[in-house]
Structure 1
Amino acid sequence: MPAMNAVLACPAFTEERQMPSTPPPGPETLAYSFTLPAEPVSSWIARASTRAVLQAHGLGGMVDAAVQVVAEFVACAWRFTPDAEVYVSLRYREGALRVVLYDGHRRHTHRRLVEACDTRRRAALRVVGCVVRACEGEWGFGEAREPGGGTRMWAVLPGER
């Protein structure tokens, strides 16, 4: 028992200690990243996570579009890089939600392979194109500039008006 008393006597555990105040969740504090396995179930996990994050930050009106974009990005990444990981980033900046996903599919070096691969990825992301256009946003994909390479898919969805 003496050890427990020592822990309770520690200044860090006294009631007088003030806990730092954190701002309540709001659009301006939305900044989340997570890594998922490139597997079929990850699309469901990404949708649920995105829905929860947006609702917690008061962006319920953006849920449907954002969830669809994230799910399509994860499903596309799984098709191109099965048995790898994908990294998802959700940020709300300057009145818009920025969705970014990195997968491990490296760019090809041969021009025809690049064109064929880009055509295939664009076709896989046609729903993303429709959703983003309906939101009057932007989207795209290309080579990841981060160490390790791969592909970066992104979408910018303007905030609620």
Structure 2
Amino acid sequence: MLTTRTTAACPAAHPAPIVCPPPPEGLSLSLTLPGEPHCAGIARSAVRSALHAHALDPFAPEVVLATSELVAVAAYLNPSQDLYLSLRHRDSALRLIVYDAHARHAHPRLATACDARRRGGLRLLAAVVRDCGGDWGFGESREPGGGTRSWAVLPCLMN
């Protein structure tokens, strides 16, 4: 004998929650990259995605270009060594830092030549940062293990 059971209809679907992007102040991205030519592309993609997730897309062209320049020069001057990239939003600015293992030369002439080489490689970065009203630079890393810290700060004032 076949019995009929009454089953309750599927529960009413709850309206989908409105998902707002996290606030820009929460943006914090850190990653380690191989010191290889392709790592600039990986860095660009990660930074573009992080900016999109925090609704900072209007700043992507300049920040992605700055990221690419910092990472490419670090990889060129320090081949086959890992690089560390950091992107943060602090005080209405996007702050990029790239650490590489290229230590400061002890000999003054070598240090000057190396600095000139890095500065020359970062000419495009300098122009982009200047146009945005930001700041950039590089110097000896204070992190354990030494190396070089290159950075750019790009203001991102929201209207």
Range into which the TM-score falls when normalised by the shorter chain: 0.7 to 0.9
1:42 matched residue in structure 2: 39
Contact map agreement 1:51 1:67 (CA 8 A) in 2:
yes
- Which residue in the other structure is 1:121 paired with? 118
1:69 and 2:66 matched: yes
CA deviations 1:56-90 (Å, max 9, x no partner) are 10111110000001101111011111010000000
* Structure 2 counterpart of 1:104, from 93, 96, 101: 101
Q: Can you list the C-alpha shifts for 1:81-112, whole angstroms capped at 9, x where unaligned?
A: 10100000000001000000000100000111
Residues 134-145 of structure 1 mapped to structure 2, 5 A cutoff: 134-145=131-142
As a proportion of its length, which structure holds more helix? 1
1:1-161 mapped onto 2 (5 Å cutoff)? 24-161=21-158
Compare CA radii of gyration and give the structure with the larger one: 2
Structure 2 unaligned residues grouped into runs of 5+: 1-19
Root-mean-square deviation over aligned CA pairs: 1.1
TM-score for the superposition, normalised by structure 1: 0.84
Structure 1 alignment gaps of length 5 or more: 1-22
Task: Report the Cα offset of residue 24 of structure 1.
Answer: 4.5
TM-score with structure 2 length normalisation? 0.85
Distance in structure 1 (CA, Å) of the matches to 2:113 and 2:41: 28
- Quote how far apart the aligned CAs of 1:160 are: 3.4
Q: Secondary structure, in 3 states, of the residue corresponding to 1:39? A: coil
**2: CA distance, partners of 1:33 / 1:83:** 19
Write out the 4+ residue segments of structure 1 that deviate beyond 6 Å after TM superposition.
Answer: none
- Compute the displacement of 1:25 (Å): 1.4
The count of aligned residue pairs is 139
**Per-residue deviation, residues 20-60 of structure 1 (Å, max 9, x unmatched):** xxx84120110110000011111100000000000110111
Contact 1:95–1:158 (8 Å) recurs in 2: yes
Q: Matches of 2:138 and 2:58 in 1, distance apart?
A: 25
Distance in structure 2 (CA, Å) of the matches to 1:80 and 1:24: 37
Aligned AA (2:141): A
